[in-house]
Amino acid sequence: MPQVALKQATIPYQVLGPADSPHPPVLFVHGILVDERLWGRVAEGLAGLGYRCILPTWPLGSHTIPVNDGADLSPGGIATMIHEFIVALDLREVTLVGNDTGGGLCQFVIDSHPDRIGRLVLTNCDAFDKFPPFPFTLAFALFRGPRSIKTLFTLMGWAPLRHSPLGYGLLLTDPDPELTRSWTAPCRNDTRICRNLAELLRHVASTDLTDLSTRFPRFTKPVTLVWGMADRCFTPSLARRMAALFPNSTMVEV
């Protein structure tokens, strides 16, 4: 898998689709405790239609390359990494696609670094004061120390706990035990990854996206909200509120 060495981290990524695609590139941003495989089937489908899809693994807890010492792992810092990645690959008019925490990070990107973004697609994700939504507020509180992360992720070697409401249970309709096990393996096996995740979670504040949402009207490029209506965490009301604030938005109910 190719890699990009940024100032604060090395980001591995996968590319699907033709290099000479006539369409703008599609860049995916996953959430906490998953990796680029979250987007596999979606990206394969788009690649088959001629889109160039770029799927990085961001340093959000399921990464295997620890970030550099002193890296800024706040949401704003991760957004800067996303921007630097875009610049490093010289991507332009990017279709930025985000889900879960990744959707929140995309909101940071369009706020601070909108110049190379051509359009935004958000699926069910954090927004406003739901950063994160309940019950993940409890999990985030538990995961803010490397030792507690190591202990809890050792317990998550047991699939029923991984697939409980405090794990992936509310987020995946048919979880693959081997896939979810691999997503939790970096924190089970590498103390440096535990420290990275703890540092990130200590910088997540529920007020961050509320403040940022006041500037949504500045982003006049197309925004599409593709929302699963049965989601119990990222409820449809979040999408409707965002759609009302973006001046060029479309909401697609799934």
Q: For residue 135, is the peptide bond before it cis, meaning its omega torsion is within 30 degrees of 0?
A: yes
| CA neighbor of 242 nearest in space, from 140, 113, 106 | 106
pTM of the model: 0.92
Concatenating the DSSP letter of every residue in 11-41 gives: EEEEEES-TT-SSPPEEEE--TT--GGGGHH
Contact criterion met (CB below 8 Å) for 206 and 197: no
Contact criterion met (CB below 8 Å) for 54 and 28: yes
Please check the confidence at residue 80 and state whether its pLDDT lies above 90.
yes
pLDDT of res. 88: 98
- Of the ranges 5-9, 94-98, 131-135, which one carries the lowest mean pLDDT score? 131-135
Which of residues 166 and 214 earns the better pLDDT score? 214
pLDDT of res. 153: 72
User: Tokens 């994160």 identify what position?
Assistant: 132
pLDDT of res. 171: 74
